[in-house]
Structure 1
Amino acid sequence: MPLVVRRLGGFALAGFSGFAVDAGLTEALAGLGISPYLGRVFAVAVAIAVTYTINRNLTWKERRVPVPGRRARYFAVSLVSIAANYLVFAAALVALPGLRPVLAVAAGTGVGMVMNFVGYSRLVFKNDQAA
């Protein structure tokens, strides 16, 4: 399988898994009466851990040599992209009162996905060794 296909497949798997965790937890916490704005903060933290594990072990597995600061860079890239994602999420909830949180999460995911792929490939899992 070509490397680019495996990377895109791994990134898609990580993204779908992260989205399922993020949207599922946000929706579940909102169902328990927790503000979706607050619940999403918790859900995103869990989703970042899930996507890091998948991306490290599948998407960029040939680049997983120990690199000081990699987890911190992953978290930083994730925070920047989730900030944009969260702004779209919050704007959707404000603009469309009564919108289910899961749909608002979906609205912000596209922006975050592009930002994550670029950031992870260029700043986190850059070619630290010959691939």
Structure 2
Amino acid sequence: MTAAVPEVLFVCVHNAGRSQMAAALLDHHAKGSVVVRSAGSAPAASVNPAVIAVMDEIGLDLSKAFPKPLTDEAVQASDVVITMGCGDACPFYPGKRYLDWELPDPAGKGVDDVRPIRDEIERRVLTLLQELSSPIVD
């Protein structure tokens, strides 16, 4: 059975910043039309407080979000895997669509430095959502 709803997995090393923002933004903008997951190859203990703050500024609550470990199952279930600096730690499966988004790591940065990272992620998420909702022509 072909998945009627595309599944997207965002992966970064700690799953505490970029991948959390991307997942929350895609989930918000997709309004249920995409299954969204995020994970880290070496998950941190908690989500970056500056990330929680900049997402709160735009009305997205990450206060209950937590870093999750990357699993083969999550990758296998996904149609699109978007990596953000996880390097060789990300498993590769033939037939999956992989994108690598090179973005600054928000770790150790304050709100003023994380805000432009959030805005760039949102721009890319909106482009991705447009691609996912367009019919694929062979």
- TM bin, normalised by shorter chain, reads 0.3 to 0.5
Instruction: Report the structure, 1 or 2, having the larger helix content.
Output: 1
Normalised to the residue count of structure 2, the TM-score between the two structures is 0.33
Instruction: Report the structure, 1 or 2, having the larger strand content.
Output: 2
Normalised to the residue count of structure 1, the TM-score between the two structures is 0.34
